[in-house]
Amino acid sequence: MSPASVAHAARRFRSAAAVGVAGVALFALRDSIPDPDAVWASVRKVNLGWLAVAVVAEGLSMRLFAGLLRRLLRSGGVRLTGPRSVAVTYARNAVSGSLPAGPVLSVAFTIRELGRLGASKPLSVATLVLSAVYSTTTFAVLGLVALLGGDATRIPALIALAAVAAAVIALVRLRRRPGVRRSGASRILAARDAIRPTGRDRLVLVVLALANWLLDVACLAAVCAAAGVGLGPHTVLLGYVAGKIAATVAVIPGGLGVTELGMAATFVGAGVTGSMAAAVVALYRLISYWAVLAVGWVAWLLLRDGVRDRLATAGRWLLGVVCRGHNGAGVRPAG
């Protein structure tokens, strides 16, 4: 089977999976489709204090992922400033979440930006590979906690876990055969060679990756509190995981539509009204997706040398105008 055929089959599978997820979610919501006026009424009643907590939690989540990249780069011998790492994190997220083939373009953008800061291409690739490994692994742990923690999801989760374990064993055996390509494994091994984290580094990386997810969950929990939706921690985590898993099979950038349906269906299944569930999901996505996207494109612009030069020139001109005005105001006629 050629690589093109594999890619085509993968795209068809993702499309079918996205339609399947959306279909299941719509079936779950069939009797709870909210009225737009009721959703707007729920949004207008939110507690602004809790909404501010949600914004802060999301900002800290993004900052911790930037810290994950910084730590990996430092293990490879390259130091990245905090503001620069945050800007790169927001910008790559904007590219990945809003453009067709965004993840691929995001990788190319990040490698270019890190290269401009002194990181070699192998180190940049290793940073992206290992950040994905740490992030995916910690999310898998959260997913297992969410799925195994509920009576209704425990048995299906165990069955799915057994199926995944069997698939991994089969894949390992297949890759041991001579002549079989080991592209994924070779990338991880190359990343391990480019970056040699210490035991303490590994612990910090795990903590950063896990805290990145937990603060994103905290953002969703704060939005629930702002809307007056009383959900337990497990239900909030389950809704979060459902939305993120749905986003992985979505064809549209950012998982638009599928993510919202996955979360809303989970909350409605937990007893939340359709209008309240829609309000929670809309506010959470406004903070965690749309606001982050807007900040990301601003960061992308500020990372352009030409834009920074123009802003610096404008800043110097404005400072000169202010200083001249101040000096002129300080002159008093004699006599």
d(CA 113, CA 118): 9
Q: What is the pLDDT of residue 21?
A: 45
134 and 205 Cβ atoms separated by less than 8 Å: yes
What confidence score (pLDDT) does residue 1 get? 42
Whole-number pLDDT of residue 259? 87
Answer whether residue 335 is part of any domain: no
Q: Is residue 1 helix, strand or coil?
A: coil
Q: Considering the entire predicted model, what is its pTM?
A: 0.78
Residue 332 within a domain: no
Count of CA atoms in the C-beta half-sphere (13 A) of 278: 18
Amino acid at 193: D
**Domain contains 4:** no
Domain presence at residue 1: no
DSSP-derived secondary structure letter, 47? -
Q: Residue 9 half-sphere exposure, CB side, CA atoms within 13 Å?
A: 6
Domain count, the chain: 1
- Residue 38 has what pLDDT? 77
Class of residue 87 by CB neighbours under 10 A (exposed 0-12, middle 13-18, buried 19+): buried
Q: Determine contact, residues 292/93, Cβ cutoff 8 Å.
A: yes
Token duo for residue 87: 């800007």
Q: Token digits for 335?
A: 């006599």
User: Which domain does 246 fall in, by range?
Assistant: 9-326
Whether residue 191 is contained in a domain is answered as yes
Q: Measuring CA to CA, which residue among 33, 18, 25 is closest to residue 278?
A: 33
260 domain-assigned: yes
**Assigned domain for 104 exists:** yes
Tens-digit pLDDT string for the chain (335 aa): 443 443 344 445 444 444 454 454 444 444 456 667 777 888 888 999 999 999 999 999 999 999 999 999 998 888 888 899 999 999 999 999 988 888 899 999 999 999 988 888 989 999 999 999 999 999 999 988 888 877 666 676 667 667 666 765 665 565 555 554 545 555 555 565 678 888 899 999 999 999 999 999 999 999 999 999 988 899 999 999 988 988 887 667 888 888 888 888 889 888 888 889 999 999 999 999 999 999 999 999 988 876 656 666 666 677 666 676 655 555 444 44
At residue 172, the pLDDT reads 57
H helices then E strands: how many in the chain?
Answer: 14, 0
Quote the DSSP letter at residue 255. Answer: G
pLDDT at site 92: 95
pLDDT for 310 = 67
Would you state the structure tokens that stand for residue 220, as one six-digit string? Answer: 């969703």
Of the candidates 266, 216, 274, the one whose C-alpha atom is nearest the C-alpha of residue 238 is 266
Residue 2 lies in a domain: no
